[in-house]
Structure 1
Amino acid sequence: MEANLLTMLQREDSNGVATLRMQRPLQFNALSEALLDALQHEIDAIAADPAIRCVVLAGAGKAFCAGHDLREMRSHPQLDCYRQLFLRCSRLMQSIQALPVPVIARVHGVATAAGCQLVASCDLAIAAETARFAVSGINVGLFCATPAVALSRNISPKRAFDMLVTGRFIDAATAADWGLINETVAEEELDAAVARKVSEIVAKSPAAVRYGKSMFYRQRQLALDEAYDYASEVMARNMMEQDAGEGIDAFLGKRQPVWAF
């Protein structure tokens, strides 16, 4: 990755956990083209790395992510430029969901527009009680169409549409109640809460988690009978994994399982 991209995103790996921290604090981690490229580069690298078992996505400074970089967008007022920008962003969001390991959004400050889309695209999200969420493009004459895709797959259509056409902010408690995030904690406890969730995930069978994430999203797009057929095949294949045999034997033997890595 080019040096200028490295300054946009910090990656730290520890015990199978990759933490990606967006590094544009003065711009509230707005998604410039360079930051989008940096995120895509790391997500692609993680997808090919069997040693990574969980990802944490965070932002430096006072905010998680303020969405697209509007100043940069206005500097290239051509339709093809905008098409390519939103396609690149959409690819990133889909890559996060397609990643074979869980991605946890660590949210503080604001998550607006494409920043809210990032939260909705992650598998799990834990936020500080002071965090706020909005898809506020409508306030500048731009309907948040691509954020609407992820948002409407997290919360009810009427709540999503309300946010999209009013641009209003919701607080962390409301976001949790609506299903946009999993949990809210005091800001000083945010890192500890994320660490607890990571620990819960990495304590499980890596094979089972990978089977599970892929299956979870695919079955949601299928008809009920197709979903059960697909889930049955996935579960049968999962049963053939060493971890499944070890886990069941450990349960029957009343001992802790030892997972294959």
Structure 2
Amino acid sequence: MSATAASPAQTEQVVLVEHLTGGISRITFNRPHKRNAMNRAARVGIVRALDECRGRSKVIVMTGNGPAFCAGVDLKEGDVSTGDAELDRRSEWTAVQEEIRSHPAVVIVAVNGTALGGGSTLINVADLAIAANEARIGMPEIGFGLYPTLAGPAAQLRIKPKHAAWLVLTAERIDGITAAEWGLVNRAVPREELDAVATALAERVASFDATALEWSKKALWKIPGEISEWTHAIAYGHEIAGELRSRSSALSEGLGRFRSGERNPGQG
């Protein structure tokens, strides 16, 4: 998979974005000397990169440059403004999570190293996650006398209660293998295999119809996040199917291939 274009966002240095073939883009956090802690410039860089990917990317892979994935929000930075009130609002850390969650592209995080606090929030807000075995994931906030305001709820909504409690109450870090066992990530692999595995996953997901991916992502957040009752959930599934029929020809084309004996993307 080769890059087809480099983004102007690369000139900002703190966040790099490149658009690859097949509807795949890669966003890289690029503050390795700060363990990719999210200062205002990095948060703005993510928002701008996501904007650039909108309408052109089916899948976005997010990863970090250097030994860390993301050490969370940069607590050493004071209250910094861009001078643009709307951009300031969108680049608050809570708002960045919503930008990722509501983005039409499927977001895969490739957790290359340390992911603390807000870094673990990124894992939970992503649609899919691959971690290096050697990754270290945790929430240090209790050591500061704090409850992890974003990372705590994000984990509590995504993994088992006792696993979330362990992260919140002990401040201990778990490795990628444990994160996979707990369901925090989909898979753990040796660090040297991470990029290849994340790329292969991105290529598989990107082989499917963009509209189907976007609306499937909506459904995955809606159920059980907002809808947990069986009948309502099934009704929403039918609603999604209706949206796909009206917005894309992929469904009818896929059924046609199936009936004629042809293989669709993803079939073995």
Percentage of matched positions with identical amino acids = 28
Moved more, 198-207 or 102-111: 198-207
> Is 1:232 equivalent to 2:232 in the alignment?
no
Partner-residue secondary structure (3-state), 1:10: strand
Partner-residue secondary structure (3-state), 1:208: helix
Contact 2:9 2:45 survives alignment (8 Å):
no
How far has the Cα of 1:128 moved from its partner? 0.9
Q: 1:43 aligns with which of 44, 50, 54?
A: 50
2:254 matched residue in structure 1: 247
- Hey, what's the Cα distance between the residues in 2 that align with 1:92 and 1:45? 15
Partner-residue secondary structure (3-state), 2:76: helix
Structure 2 residues not aligned, in runs of 5+: 1-6, 80-87
Higher helix share: 1
- Hey, what's the Cα distance between the residues in 2 that align with 1:148 and 1:167? 11
- Hey, what's the Cα distance between the residues in 2 that align with 1:142 and 1:20? 30
Q: 2:118 aligns with which of 111, 114, 118?
A: 114
Q: 1:126 aligns with which of 118, 127, 130?
A: 130
Q: 2:180 aligns with which of 166, 171, 176?
A: 176
> Is 1:196 equivalent to 2:192 in the alignment?
no
Structure 1 residues not aligned, in runs of 5+: 77-83
How far has the Cα of 1:5 moved from its partner? 7.5
Partner-residue secondary structure (3-state), 2:134: coil
2:83 matched residue in structure 1: none
> Is 1:27 equivalent to 2:31 in the alignment?
no
> Is 1:61 equivalent to 2:63 in the alignment?
no
1:103 matched residue in structure 2: 107
Deviations 1:143-182 (A, max 9, x none): 2111112111221122212211211111111110111100
Aligned length: 248
Aligned AA (2:154): A
Normalized against structure 1, the TM-score is what? 0.88
Aligned Cα root-mean-square deviation (Å): 2.3
Deviations 1:84-108 (A, max 9, x none): 8998101111111111121000111
User: Which portions of structure 1, spanning 4 or more consecutive aligned residues, are displaced by more than 3 angstroms?
Assistant: 1-5, 84-87
Normalized against structure 2, the TM-score is what? 0.86
